[in-house]
Every structure is written in structure tokens, then in C-alpha cells.
Structure 1
């Protein structure tokens, strides 16, 4: 049977109602509505698709796969069911399967723009820039000149390192609409990534007129004028981390071989084998440090600018409380001598300057307590703080040591590490263990 609604479709109202109820989280009522729809048309693949999405919303992932698999079996040529099945694989970090399904779907439905959008989303989730770019170019054949597709293409080209074509694409968009703030900001980022920040001055000037007082614009304006900002505004990364939250653990641990939380947790537990301590996890992300520590005989507090990241961390059931705040606010608002350990892993690559934050962390730690933080390594013959083409800060090892000593830490150990891998290349950094 066809999965497409007809003017006399007896299930249409049931299905529309069920979808709306699922989106609002009213799952019990949605289930009743889907039961009505199934009684009306027992083998309607749309019912099983929505049942799968409802199960996912409820956290029953095996049942979600069962529902969507049944929908695809009933209507193997129905693009919406196939697409939701592929997207479910992607959302559950089964990225190889998701990519395979997406490529087959794109081949079977080459002119379906909804399919195209889903395939590009899966490519991005899987980190397959070549795949995303290939399908975006195909989309622009279907809808020449589409602004959103061109923006996505320009961004992906820049991330791929094809800065020339990225800048050309951004330039064409701005030429068509000089008031396009999103494209101007895209070109600013592309200029910086290409190592040509001075070429972004005209765009940052225009952006300051379009969005006066915007902290992100002010940040990029400083870079364009050759100034290294001491900190990055939280707004710069909140949306990015929100979008990455569901994929972060798989991406960092499996994809980038990120072992820093495990290393830090081993250091903490070696010092406190009875787990009788209080820990502040600054920039807790999805809670990888908490997972490695396990439940404490004390409290474990997580701080992050991304609410979506916090939601993922809460699922581990090891944190006692969370604060949705940036690093500087969290440090300022925390009472003195509260924690045995303060950790800031992969935080200063975005937070930047150590000279204010390290002394503030010192204040929060009890006597004989520890501050553990990581940095990407900057050359010792250069400035203390370097803003790299990646958009992340790097710090001199000697500067981190000096700032800790000046803050009052009596023992400072620095361990050189490979923090993660990017493009199969190691990212060099170090982990600081400073004791009060």
C-alpha cells in the first residue's frame, strides 16, 4: 500500500494529532491516538514510524528501532520512513549504518529536497565533510542560488580547508545582500581560518553597524585588528555545543581518541581512593569526568554554558547538581574553600586568559586541594596566549606554571599529553596539577 495520504485518507487526522502530541511530550495521549490509527489501518507504515519516534522520545531506543524498521519493511520505497530510520541511527551514534542508509536513500530519491536535508544532516553528524559537500553541490543543481545551501557549503568548504572557494562563496552571498549578517560573519571566520584576519576588517565594521553591542562581533573585530582577545564570549560556542551534545561522547572518545577525563580521574582517585571529596567540574560537557570518577562520598558539581550538554551529563546520574553558566561567572559566584578538587578540562582552549581564572580557582579550593586543568601547547618562544587558526587558544607551558605559582599553589606538576587527534594528527597539550 502507499504510505502517502490521499484526500480520503482515514488516518490523516489521527496521524497529525499524534505527531503534535509527540512534539509536546504528551506520549500517553499520543499512544492512544496511534492505537486508534492502527485499528483503522493495521498496516499503515506511518503509524509505525510515529510509534518509533514516540518510543525514542520516551527513551525506549530498542522499541524505536523496531517501529521504524517495521515502517520501512511495510513501505520500502517510502522516503520519509527510510529517512527517519537513517536519522535514528545517526542520533544513536550508529554513524556507519546511518551514512550507508543515507547514501542509498539519496540515490533512490535524488530530487527530494527533504531527503537531501536529512542526508546532509547525517553527513555533518558523522563528520563526513566530503559527503556533505557533495550533496550540497547536488542540492544547488536542484535549487540554484539557494542561500541556505550556499551558506552550508561555504562553511563546510572552510572546515575542509578549501578557504579560497569558501571565501568566494561567502563573497557572492554578500554581493547579493550586503545586509546578510550571517554571511558576513561566515566570511570573517573564513578569513581568520585562512590566516588573513586583516581582510575581515570591512566585514567586522559592517557587522558592528548591523549588530552594535554584540559580544561575538566585538570578539572578531578585535582579531581582525590584530588584537588577541583575552576570553571568548560564551555565546560564540553555546549553539555549537548544544548541537553537538547528543554526539559528543562518541565523537570525542571514539573519533578523536580523547582520554583526558580518564587520565584526570585516575589522578584524582589515586589521591582520594575513598572518594571522600567535593569536586567542581568546570566545563563539564556531557559528564565524561563524572563517568570516570563515579559516585563520590561528597558532591560533584558540573558547570557548563550548554544546557544540552548538561542534559546529557545528567543521564549518567553521578552529578549532584549543575549550573548553566560560563566559567568566569561560576568562579566568581562560588564561596571560598569549598572543593578538594576543581577541574577544567578542555576549558581554557575557549576561556583563554589564565591570569584571572587561576587565582579565582585557588580561592575555591581547600588547603591541600588540587586544581587540574588542560591547555593546548603554544611555542615557548612566542606570546603567553595564542589564538590559533582552529579558533582555540593555546598557552605556553612556562606561563601556566608561572600563573599557578603566583596564585599561591605550592606544588605544580605539568604533564605533556596528546589531548586528542584531529584529521589523524595529534593535538599537543599538557595537563596541570596544582596543589594548594
Structure 2
């Protein structure tokens, strides 16, 4: 064998050692050097693309996978890898085309079917999306998330009670850095002001912010209560909320589990744009009743749903609730409805999302 090939081979194995040890920068450099010695080698291109993707260097990863599909156009995995990077780059039409190429070569790729379903859902092609999710499940993708996605696009599919915790946590961990700007400046979100503004002038001993996110409610809760606690499922959202310095404690936990176990009691509980990820709100109401003081206020927002059903799961992957359901839950858990108002919660595709702003008072 030639000296360049032997050197490239040695570098390749060095790359794998770097990769195993988590030394991604060193691995990328070694893969690049190996590729320069023996251009077009599929295994090197594939690993280089994977490393660059893990480093967040998506353009470089795409360049590696571009070359990979050129030298191995018959390999389903090559098209799948390229599609994954295009998906991260929000180049949805190109990503969908790559998943289709992958499945034309190997129709038994569950991940490709699941990704295809997600892109078709975003494009509004709901029947095709449902078929793709069903194919993914048939091929062994038995994840809660895929079942949740299927329920969002298949009318006859009973929606799960809540969004999968792993899906919600991953969604908001990835969203944390851009959350405030995107929600407020792009989606014109003003629920904290609308929900907590009417309480101005009142004074509470202790408040709890359910699903606090980055803490957008904190500046509005701080003047209302002597102390404010918060809970959120996302680790990165919790870190952002703590940075505000306005909460006494911020707990990373499922909010229902937290309500069922905390020893603290509150006379104000707020939940802004949280229930869009929870269909069955009965456990939430039971938990709030457990922690709220007599006469306490429970203020929250919810998306408007179908008045003929308690809750629905939409293709947007959010739950909508009927006003009758919210009123019934309030009565069943010892709350009276102080006010319930329709209000646009944010925008989606530049259209207002109809919702409810609700204020309850604990009476029993």
C-alpha cells in the first residue's frame, strides 16, 4: 500500500480514538487530514460529517455529506445523514427530498419515516404525515414522541394526556437561548402582562410560577409577592430563570410531580402558556388545590379548543381546551371563576392563536 494511504489509515484510527474520548476538535482535524491524503473515502466523509454536526458546524457537516452522497449515491444512510443536517438548517424541502431518496433505497428506515412525517406535518400535508408516522411505528419506532406526533395529525387517534416529557425538555433546552426574543419579538407574546397586570396593587405572601421558562413572568410577579418560587422541566430554562435573580427557588421538575410533593404553600399560582403541553388538566388542578391557601388566586392561560371536547391536540403539537372544561375543573377542585376572557396568546404563521386568560379563586 502507498505511504499516503497508510498515513490516512493511521489518522483515521487516531480520529476514532479522539471521538471515543470526546475530543471533537482533534477528531475533526484528524479526519480532515486523512481525507486530504485519500479524498472521497466514504467512511472518513461520514465520520467527518458526524463530528462537524456534533460541533454545531452545520455548513461544514453538509459539505462532508454532499461529498458522501456524490461518492455513495446508492447508500440510504448517506442521504439520511444529509437530510438530518438540512433539517437542522431549516431547509425543509431539501431535507424532505433526501428522506425520500433514503426511503427509495431502503424503505425500512423508521427514523426517515418519522422525520418525513414531521416535515409533512409542518407543510400541512396531514394525511401523508399520519401515514409516515404509522410506518415509523410499524418499523419499530415505538417512541412516545412519534405517537404524540401521530395523534396531532390523525383525527381518530385519541390524544395522549400530556406531551412526552422528553420531547418538551428537549424542545425547550434547544430553544432556551432564543426563547425570549422569538416569543416576544417574533410571536408577539404578551400573556404575562395580560395575565398578571390585573393583579397589580394586590399583595401576596408567596407565589409559584408553573412552567416558568426563562422567567418572563418574574418581573411581574416580584412586585406582587414577598417571595416567588418557580418550576420548569427544562434544565436550560431553569438556568436562564435563575440568572434573573428574582426567584427564591427554581426547581427542575415536572410541574404535576412538584405540586404533589412540595411542602410549600402559596396564595398565588400562575401558569403562562404552559397548558398548551398538557391535555388532561385534572392532575394540575388537583395539585394546585393541594398547595394553594384559602382565598388564593390561580391565574393561567390556555389555548382555545373545541367546545364539544374537553381538549384537543392540534397539528401545531399544542393542546387546546374548551371553556366548559376549564369551568368544570374549577368547580370540581374548589375554585370559583373570577374571570375568563378570550385573548390571542401569540402568533403562529403570522396568525393570532386564540386562547383564554383565566383567574380562579380558591373557595373550598
Whether the TM-score (by the shorter chain) exceeds 0.5 is yes
TM-score (norm 2): 0.71
CA drift of 1:227 comes to 1.7
Match of 2:29 in 1: none
The answer to whether residue 295 in structure 2 is matched with residue 362 in structure 1 is: no
CA distance in 2, matches of 1:282, 1:353: 16
The answer to whether residue 246 in structure 2 is matched with residue 351 in structure 1 is: no
Q: Write out per-residue CA displacement over residues 201-222 of structure 1, whole angstroms, 9 at most, x where no aligned residue.
A: 22112234xx5xx433454566
Match of 1:183 in 2: 112
The answer to whether residue 104 in structure 2 is matched with residue 171 in structure 1 is: no
For structure 1, list consecutive stretches of 5 or more residues without a partner in the other structure: 1-22, 24-112, 122-134
CA drift of 1:298 comes to 2.9
Partner of 2:281, secondary structure, is coil
Structure with more strand by fraction: 2
Q: Write out per-residue CA displacement over residues 382-422 of structure 1, whole angstroms, 9 at most, x where no aligned residue.
A: 32211111111111122212211222112341111111122
Q: In the TM superposition, what are the counterparts of 1:5-404 in structure 2 within 5 Å?
A: 144=69, 145=78, 147-154=80-87, 156=90, 168-176=97-105, 180-190=109-119, 192-193=121-122, 194-196=125-127, 198-199=130-131, 200-208=133-141, 214-220=143-149, 226-272=157-203, 276-294=204-222, 298-335=226-263, 338-380=265-307, 382-404=308-330
Is this contact kept in 1: 2:111–2:136, CA < 8 A?
Answer: no
CA distance in 2, matches of 1:342, 1:306: 19
CA distance in 1, matches of 2:205, 2:317: 35
Aligned length: 298
CA distance in 1, matches of 2:136, 2:113: 6
Relative contact order, higher structure (CA 8 A, sep 6+): 2
CA drift of 1:175 comes to 4.4
For structure 2, list consecutive stretches of 5 or more residues without a partner in the other structure: 1-21, 23-50, 70-77
